[in-house]
A and B are shown apart, each in its own frame.
Chain A
Amino acid sequence: MYLPSGVYHETYAATHAWWQTGFVRGKMALLLLFVFTLPLYANLYVVSVANITLYTILGALGVQLLIGYCGQITFGHAAFIAVGAYTTAMGVLFWGLPYPVAAVLGCLLAGLWSVVFGLPSARIKGFYQIMTTMAAQFITVDFIITHYVSRVGGREHYFSLPPGTITIAGWPVDSEIEVYYLAVILTILCLAGMANLLRTRVGRAWIAIRDNDIAAETMGLNVVYYKLLAFFAAGVLAGVAGAVWIPSLLFVSPEHFQLSWGLWLVGVILIGGIGSLHGVVFGSIFVTGILELLKFAIIPLSEFYPALSERFLYVKEAAFGLAIVLFLLYEPRGLAYRWQQIKNYLNLWPFAY
């Protein structure tokens, strides 16, 4: 790890600190300031794109935990987000719970649901695990939620929450800006929580399982227990994402949680970088932001070829698919690695040796 000369640590706590120099602390403070004041000078459109980015970060965080840190491949993460979102919505709508309570309930249920479909991981891995998680997706979303849960309470096919039903301690959360602050705070909490969790016994156990499960078992780790714990944690994170999703649209339907969304999240961490929290953030920004910018980029081109803007959704999906393929071929370590390279370059500049 890079440290400039003249930095001395006198306690163990200091050596474990996340931000070790004044420069880094200043940088992070500026970043936080920027993040928290964004709605003051950005228009609502930018804020809404930021909200989708934050939602993607929260969703991809769970996928990163499972794939990047525990080595358990999941293609059904959208299902767990759906469980979180639906539980929260139903808690608010039918059981009259305050939104935070309903959200906590949603997180727990999503975690347990995730454990149920994580159980086969005790026996199988690799391709068979992919098949199981895909089946989890179909059974949860395309069957149970679409055909049963969605019809609870005579609401056909979707839950629409009347404006003003979602409140946190009396404050209604229904405009983009309020949702933005909710999402930002939760995202920071989850990222910080994850970063610290990975340094504990549990996190190290996950990484050991990812690197070699048989070796991990010979070290005395209860592999099944830690795997299920990883599924639970990932499910809880998915639940957080689901709970954040509701106020931003005031609406839940199975369409939000299709298989392609789960695959999309896996794509996000591949582009960002597997096994890196930076990767989650960079991947989400890349996939949401860049693809949104693509929309503006093709406006001039669509004068000559109108199909480009008419079929923009396809252009976006094709760009995403191509991005995954190109990253895997040419930059398998993702944007996070590229970021590290840039930082190294700047740290050593101008004497790069």
Chain B
Amino acid sequence: MAILLELVLSGIMVGSIYALVALGWTLIYKCSGVLNLAMGELTLIGAYVCLTYYQWGFPFPLALVATLVTGFILGLATERLFLRRMIGEPILAVIMITVGLSFFFRALVGFIWGTDTVVFTPPVFPREPLRFFGMVFGQVYIWSFVAAIVLLVVFVWFFQQSRWGLSMQATADDEMAALSLGVSAKRVYALAWAIAFMAAGVGGTLLGNINGLNISVGYLGLLVLPAVVLGGLNSVPGAIVGGLVIGVLQNLSDAYVGKLTQGGVKEIAPFAFMVIILLFRPYGLWGWVKIERV
């Protein structure tokens, strides 16, 4: 029983990071309709950029802020260079642009930073585990969880209260109406990409702090897809819940289903789950029920 609880809790903690990255994904989709398959590579880039700043001697909070700034700039550049021309193109073209970008970004990361696992030295979070009620938690998980929650709250506030967030919501809701009210759609798209880059950067940094960083962090970007499908593609709370559920699901399936198979369950469970959702509720938990059917 204690093990079950530990599995669930640690799943939630990793899931909170997935949620953060999934949020960035949803944002892009919501605002500009781009289905982004390069999210994992954005995570990778963010994580490596932060690590580089940290190794240059920046204190961690400063490195994180610098990562956010870098992510912001990279996001604007990516949108301007590659995606602005693709507005209104067929879905395959837009998706394949992001696939092309994912090949390009991943190779770029591999080329620049190599493929070794690298760790944040000295460690940002203390290594000693904490004990509550007989259960053991790594501090790094708790801090990642806290950081993810804080950022989620900030994002939600941004959308519901700030001027920019409101104009993004307006564009997502009805682009024509937003344009006629003086919202610049181009700026909104650019901002969506910038924020997605930032969210992915923080997610990647937190993941990198857990056990180090290598190119397989990019794989986690694919896990975002089941998360957003579960939540409904365009729902912000859906992305958060989806991320948490995927984190827990991975842990539980590995622990309980893994015994019955010859391995590989942890990697495959989110996708099998996704197929089930697609069969029965393709619009997810809170997505718009306007999916195009045949």
Contacts and interface: CB of A to CB of B under 8 A. Distances in A.
Nearest to B110: A314
Interface of A is mostly: helix
B99 A267 contact: yes
Interface stretch (B16-24, B100-108, B183-191): B100-108
A49 interface: no
Given A134-B225, A148-B262, A120 B104 contact: no
B264 interface: yes
Nearest to B291: A128
Interface string B77-111: 00000100110010111011101111111111011
A213 to B, nearest CB: 6
A328 interface: yes
B94 to A, nearest CB: 9
Interface residues of A, number: 47
A122 B261 CA distance: 31
B229 A131 contact: yes
A266 B293 contact: no
B111 A314 contact: yes
B279 A325 contact: no
Given A120-B279, A148-B262, A270 B96 contact: yes
B102 A328 contact: no
A126 B292 contact: yes
Most B CB contacts (10 A, CB to CB) among A321, A322, A323 go to A321
Interface stretch (B58-66, B123-131, B240-248, B265-273): B265-273
B22 to A, nearest CB: 14
B107 A314 contact: yes
Contacts of B233: 127
B274 interface: yes
Interface in B235-294: 261-265, 267-268, 271-272, 274-275, 278-279, 282, 291-294
Most B CB contacts (10 A, CB to CB) among A122, A127, A266, A332 go to A127
Nearest to A308: B111
A328 B100 contact: yes
A67 interface: yes
Interface in A117-170: 120-128, 130-132, 134-135, 138-139, 142-143, 146-148, 151
A121 B35 CA distance: 19
A11 B14 CA distance: 71
B275 A132 contact: yes
B106 A317 contact: yes
B104 A318 contact: yes
Interface in A311-325: 311, 314-318, 320-325
Interface string B109-128: 01100100000000000000
B246 to A, nearest CB: 14
B262 A151 contact: yes
B294 A213 contact: yes
Nearest to A146: B264
Given A325-B82, A329-B82, A130 B282 contact: no
Nearest to A317: B107
Contacts of A322: 100, 104
B96 A317 contact: no
A332 B89 CA distance: 10
Contacts of B92: 67, 73
A148 B261 CA distance: 9
Given A127-B95, A142-B267, A307 B262 contact: no
Contacts of A332: 89, 93
B103 A318 contact: yes
A139 B114 CA distance: 29
Contact of B103 (A146, A324, A328): A324
A133 to B, nearest CB: 11
A218 to B, nearest CB: 13
Interface in A54-75: 67, 73
A317 B105 CA distance: 9
Nearest to A266: B96
A325 B101 contact: yes
Nearest to B108: A318
Contacts of A146: 264
Interface string B43-73: 0000000000000000000000000000000
Interface string A292-317: 00000000000000010001001111
A182 interface: no
B99 A266 contact: yes
B294 A127 contact: no
Contacts of B82: 325, 329
Contacts of A123: 282, 293-294
A207 B258 CA distance: 44
Given A67-B92, A318-B108, A325 B263 contact: no
A198 interface: no
29 contacts: A67-B92, A123-B294, A124-B282, A124-B291, A124-B293, A127-B233, A131-B229, A132-B278, A134-B222, A135-B271, A135-B275, A138-B271, A139-B268, A146-B264, A260-B103, A263-B103, A267-B96, A311-B110, A311-B111, A314-B108, A314-B110, A316-B107, A317-B106, A320-B103, A323-B100, A324-B99, A324-B100, A324-B103, A329-B85
Interface of A: 67, 73, 120-128, 130-132, 134-135, 138-139, 142-143, 146-148, 151, 213, 223, 260, 263, 266-267, 270, 307, 311, 314-318, 320-325, 328-329, 332
Interface of B: 35, 82, 85-86, 89, 91-93, 95-97, 99-108, 110-111, 114, 222, 225, 229, 233, 261-265, 267-268, 271-272, 274-275, 278-279, 282, 291-294
* 9 A-B pairs closest in CB distance: A321-B103, A321-B104, A324-B100, A318-B107, A317-B107, A325-B100, A314-B107, A314-B111, A143-B268
Given A126-B91, A267-B99, A317-B104, 8 more contacts: A67-B92, A123-B293, A124-B278, A125-B292, A142-B268, A267-B96, A317-B106, A321-B100
